[in-house]
Structure 1
Amino acid sequence: MTMHRVTERLRERSRQAMEKILAQEADAEQRRAQLELVGPEALRRLVDVASGHTGQSQHCRRILLAAYNGPTWPLDLTRLRVIDRDLQRAALTLIEWATYTPRELHEYLDDGDRLMQRFWNTETHKEED
């Protein structure tokens, strides 16, 4: 095989690799746009339930706290198995949205930092300020 043919094959492989990368980036951008539409509703759904006083509420608070501060509140995936299907979908949407959005999720909520602190206090059994 001549050097010219080797060079041509390498160029073709590079072109194919670049096309694949660009297609993957386009898919990721499309998914990010979709999540920007459905993510806020999933967040509100989880916040609504988390604000209650049921077993579902505790799991939703923990999922939200994991998105808020994962190192302190690691997500126990078992929580996803014990909540209702619509909450599972909301939680999975929230988790995926958190990987794409340039903002912290609590920033999408009115006074979101205070809300997360309230959930934090509830989960650590501290009195609210």
Structure 2
Amino acid sequence: MDRDIIETRGAAALQRLFAVANRDSGQCRYIARFLLGLYNGQRFPFDFTDLRAIDGDLFEDCVTVLRMDAQVSRQEVHKYFDDDKKFEALSKELGIGDIIDEGGSKLFEGLARRWGVEAAEKVRADAKRAAQPVGTPAPLHEGGTFDATLLTYGEAFGYRDVSVVARLGEGGNTEVRLRLTPSDSEALMQHITRVHAFAWRNAERGPLDKKPGEMRPAWLDRAPAQW
């Protein structure tokens, strides 16, 4: 297909999608996140499984915009809103006045604020800085990987449920409590045992992270009931 045709169809689909993203129907949030992902995927990563929640015509518009963005690549998607008079009707319809004349990026930043879509970097930074008093819930974030240090563990005498408390973050000021059921405890115990046994399969050489003078732990040779 001719690139000019792809771009013409893509720009028209982009206009329709942006109008939908500024409305309040059930699919609008998904459309907004899709457009923000195209605008800046590093800041606003989009889960493409969310496309399953989008109806036929809107889905086709998303594919059309994707095709334009991938095969034409003349400019970033927000640039299609820069100083272009053909989008004046859209700006009036959305009640955003002459903001398009100030640059398309303002439109997309406004879209992120409208739907409360936080940049991934901010989510990760907030999680890293989280300082919650012990015993209060920590803020929830959309994913993330955190280093943790074991703080304590406990159990109710005679019961098989086990609780493990770990501290997260550089300051260790956020605590997470894991409650392990009997089946989860068994699976975790078996996994840890296999990892250690494999690392010590050669007792003389030992694991790759062996410390000077460290010996093969005796508990590997005992049944769990003997621990």
**Structure number with higher helix proportion:** 1
Deviations 1:50-73 (A, max 9, x none): 011122110110010001001111
State the alpha-carbon separation in 1 of the partners of residues 23 and 80 from structure 2. Answer: 20
State the alpha-carbon separation in 1 of the partners of residues 41 and 67 from structure 2. Answer: 14
Give 1:117 shift: 0.6
Residue matched to 2:78: 106
Residue matched to 1:122: 114
TM-score of the pair, normalised by structure 1: 0.68
CA gap of 1:78–1:125, structure 2 versus 1, over 3 A, is closer
Residue matched to 2:40: 69
Pick the aligned partner of 1:50 from 14, 17, 21: 21
Equivalent pair of 2:13/2:61 in contact (CA under 8 Å): yes
Q: How many aligned positions are there?
A: 97
State the alpha-carbon separation in 1 of the partners of residues 55 and 117 from structure 2. Answer: 25
State the alpha-carbon separation in 2 of the partners of residues 95 and 36 from structure 1. Answer: 10
Q: Match of 1:78, as an amino acid? A: T
CA gap of 1:125–1:93, structure 2 versus 1, over 3 A, is closer
Alpha-carbon RMSD:
1.7
**Structure number with higher strand proportion:** 2
Q: Match of 1:41, as an amino acid? A: A
Residue matched to 1:17: none
CA gap of 1:102–1:80, structure 2 versus 1, over 3 A, is same
State the alpha-carbon separation in 2 of the partners of residues 44 and 69 from structure 1. Answer: 18
TM-score of the pair, normalised by structure 2: 0.40
Q: Provide the identity percentage.
A: 34
Q: Match of 1:101, as an amino acid? A: S
CA gap of 1:125–1:80, structure 2 versus 1, over 3 A, is closer
Unaligned runs of 5+ in 2: 83-99, 119-227
Structure ranking higher on relative contact order (CA contacts 8 Å, 6+ apart): 1
Give 1:33 shift: 2.4
CA gap of 1:95–1:125, structure 2 versus 1, over 3 A, is closer
Equivalent pair of 2:44/2:117 in contact (CA under 8 Å): no
State the alpha-carbon separation in 1 of the partners of residues 45 and 62 from structure 2. Answer: 14
